[in-house]
Structure 1
Amino acid sequence: MTTLGTATAAPGEMAVGRLPVGEARDGSEVALPVAVINGAHDGKTLYMQAVSDGDELNGVGVLQRLIPQLDPGELSGQLLVVGIVNMHAFHVAEHRNPIDDTKMNRAYPGDTNGTSSERIAAATYEAATRADVILDLHQGSTSRMINETRVRCGHRHRLHRECLELARVFGCGHILDQKGPNGQLARAAPDEGIPTIDPELGGCVGWDEASIRLGVRGVKNVLAHYGFHEGDVSIEPQTRATGFEQYGAPAGGLVSFHKDLAESVSRGDALFDVTDVFGTVKSTVTADSDGVFWRTRRLPQVATGEYVCSVGTDVDEV
């Protein structure tokens, strides 16, 4: 039998339930939706979670499409799934947990006696560290971003090779291979010896079908490569960036971009103009380095110093 929260499944079965993580302001229980898929045959354990940030819905879109396609009778090993991690933020369609104004993916490994976010992180971390492989499904918030996977353990980490291999298997086409901030699941779990990535499935308001389909394919690649079900995975070359430059607005106004997402950038290329409301160019911002046009803000209006776009730099192929 395999159990996660109130979900318990025998070999060859699937079960859904809830994982208690605390109480709301009215004293009612707060519990996350979970699923256990217990394969009919022995094998590894995969942990997946989505909606660590409350407005990043492409991950739960992947689970919604993927889980009904999985037959426990044909699987080896176990899948532990948390469908919505940041429940408080999900309910109000916000990025951060409104109870403690915390970005959930800065709270790992968590604290069972800590803040709301630390308690949720502790409960999900306990489940995640039962696994052999971890997928933390994200997206680029509500901004515009390419589909990518992120390797966050750092190049010198003993598990870097395994995390990079997992990113290549997932196969978004682009990889950001850069040590992440403290508190990220993809930073903490490799310290426990578990290969972990966070696929960043595009960026949108609501969800995006193309990114969701890519995510479903990526999880299926992982299931096949790591022996959860039969199948061959063709690992295609990935464009990797190990640097990441962000650009802000030197003036207030409206942004017009010179580059499209995933387009190559050379040092000195114009990235964007800031114009006044009548179209007069007030400032043009150029690239400091060669790279790939990675991410942009969604709305055109900007104030001085406000974030506009990002370029992945130090690019190679893996």
Structure 2
Amino acid sequence: MTTLGTASAEPGEIDTGRLEVGETRDGSSFGLPVAVINGAEPGKTLYMQAASDGDELNGVGVISRVVPRLDPAELSGTILIVGIVNYHAFQVAEHRNPIDDTKMNRAYPGNENGTSSERIAAATFDVGTRADLILDLHQGSTSRMIDEVRVRCGKRHRLYEDCLELAKAFDCGYVLDQKGPDGQLARAAPDEGVPTVDPELGGCVGWDEESIRKGVDGVFNVLTHYGFLDGTLELTRQTRANSFEQYGAPGGGLVRLTKDLGDRVSRDEVLFELTTPFGEPKDSVTADTDGILWRTRRLPQVASGEYVCSVGTDVDSY
């Protein structure tokens, strides 16, 4: 029997339930939606979670499509899932937990007696560190971004190669290999011996079906590569960026990007132009170095200094 919150499953079974993590402002208890898929045969344990940031919904879309396709009778090992982590932010479609104004993915490993976010982080971290592998499903918030996987433990970490392998197995085609900020699950869990990556599935308002499809494919790639499902997976080379350069607007106006997401850019090549509301040219911004257009703002209007785009730099493949 494998149990997560109120969900319990014998080998060959699947169950859903709730993981209670606190109370709302009226004193009512609340819980995170959870699932246990217990394979008929023994094997590894995979932990997946989504909506650590409340407006990043593509991961929820992935889980809602993956679970109905899983047959425990054909599975070796166990999959533990928390379908929505940032409960309060999800309810109001906001990025940060509105109870304590905290970005959940800066609160790990959490504190069971701490703030709202720290308590949720502690509860989900406890589940995640029961596993052999972790997929923490994200997206680039509501910006436009390529589909990629982030390795956040840092190149000197003892599990660095294991995290790289997990990113490669997920196979979005692009990897950001850059040590993440303190408090990220993908930073904290490897310290406990669990290889962890952040698939960043595009960026949109609501969800994007193409990014969700890539996420679903990625989950099944991982399940195949690590022996949860029968079959073999041929690992393919990924395009890897090791750092970012961000570009802001030199003045106010309307932005016209000259490149599409995923396009290669060269040093001194124009990234975007700035015009007045009447289309009159005001300025242009060029790349400081070679790279890949990785992320852009969604709306065309900008004020002076406002974020416009990011270029992935120090690019190679592995």
* Residue 150, structure 1, aligned to residue 150, structure 2: yes
Query: What secondary structure sits across from 2:140 in the alignment?
Result: coil
* Residue 43, structure 1, aligned to residue 46, structure 2: no
The equivalent of 1:87 in structure 2 is 87
- The TM-score normalised by the length of structure 2 is 0.99
The equivalent of 1:261 in structure 2 is 261
The equivalent of 2:224 in structure 1 is 224
Name stretches of at least 5 consecutive residues in structure 1 with no aligned partner: none
Give, in whole Å, the separation in 2 of the partners of 1:225 and 1:9: 24
Query: After the TM superposition, which residues 167-206 of structure 1 pair with which residues of structure 2 at under 5 Å, given as runs?
Result: 167-206=167-206
Give, in whole Å, the separation in 2 of the partners of 1:248 and 1:30: 41
Q: CA deviation at 1:129?
A: 0.2
Q: CA deviation at 1:128?
A: 0.2
The equivalent of 2:240 in structure 1 is 240
Query: What secondary structure sits across from 2:45 in the alignment?
Result: strand
- The TM-score normalised by the length of structure 1 is 0.99
Query: After the TM superposition, which residues 1-318 of structure 1 pair with which residues of structure 2 at under 5 Å, given as runs?
Result: 1-318=1-318
Q: CA deviation at 1:49?
A: 0.1
Name stretches of at least 5 consecutive residues in structure 2 with no aligned partner: none
Query: What secondary structure sits across from 2:15 in the alignment?
Result: strand
Give, in whole Å, the separation in 2 of the partners of 1:116 and 1:301: 35
Q: CA deviation at 1:232?
A: 1.4
Give, in whole Å, the separation in 1 of the partners of 2:235 and 2:307: 34
Q: CA deviation at 1:17?
A: 0.4
Q: CA deviation at 1:280?
A: 1.4
Give, in whole Å, the separation in 2 of the partners of 1:232 and 1:262: 29
**What residue identity is the alignment partner of 1:60?**
V
Q: CA deviation at 1:236?
A: 1.6
Give, in whole Å, the separation in 2 of the partners of 1:33 and 1:18: 5
Give, in whole Å, the separation in 2 of the partners of 1:315 and 1:152: 16
Give, in whole Å, the separation in 2 of the partners of 1:276 and 1:100: 39
